[in-house]
A = this chain, B = another copy of it.
Amino acid sequence: MDDAPAPRPRRGRPGYDQETVLRRAVELFNRQGYDATSIGDIAQELGLTKSAIYHHVASKEELLGAALDEALEGLTRAVATAAEDRQASAAQRLRATVEESVRILAAHLPAVTLLLRVRGNSAVELAALERRRQIDEALAVLVQEAVAEGALRDDVPPDLISRLLFGTVNSLVEWYRPGGPLTPDALAATVSALAFEGLRRP
């Protein structure tokens, strides 16, 4: 797994690299909404003038695109890795994917939060929604395989299982904050234990 985003080439004024500008912009997008945030707001957040910010980025859409790529790359890799592991059963691969999705959400929380709020208001957002749709489709296929294999209950349609399972994972952005006593690994193990084994005492 990949806890830290890949380093980006430094450019611009001392004290700010592209990575920092991106982090702070994404925080601002999540706090006040992407559409309500202007390049001027981002400049102000960083203590830069509006013309200085254009030294770092061409547009706020470039920042949105970079954040959505960050979130989507992690999730796409989690699904692809699971699909390739043909030694494991579909149920084991599904469980590994759920756990890896939780870890990616924790490691890239602001970017994943932004991704989950995208509605398709621009070409960049529509492209991100299309990539999310492909991820959801791959997850639904994995659930279907696990049901067909006989490991999962067959009284609930696989696409409904998939929506509820990854709805639970996505709901973590509403309250989980890394750095507390609940580590991403412990959270991942709890989410998958409850999803697969249920709340009832065995």
Residues of A within 8 A of B (CB): 33, 35-36, 91, 150-156, 160-161, 163-165, 167-168, 170-172, 174-175, 182, 190-191, 193-202
Contact = CB atoms under 8 A, between A and B. Distances in A.
5 contacts: A151-B200, A154-B201, A161-B194, A161-B199, A194-B195
Nearest to A150: B201
A198 B201 contact: no
B165 A175 contact: no
Contacts of A152: 199-201
A200 B190 contact: no
A51 B54 CA distance: 42
Given A152-B199, A160-B190, A196-B200, 12 more contacts: A33-B33, A36-B36, A151-B201, A152-B201, A153-B199, A153-B202, A156-B193, A164-B168, A167-B174, A168-B168, A194-B195, A196-B199
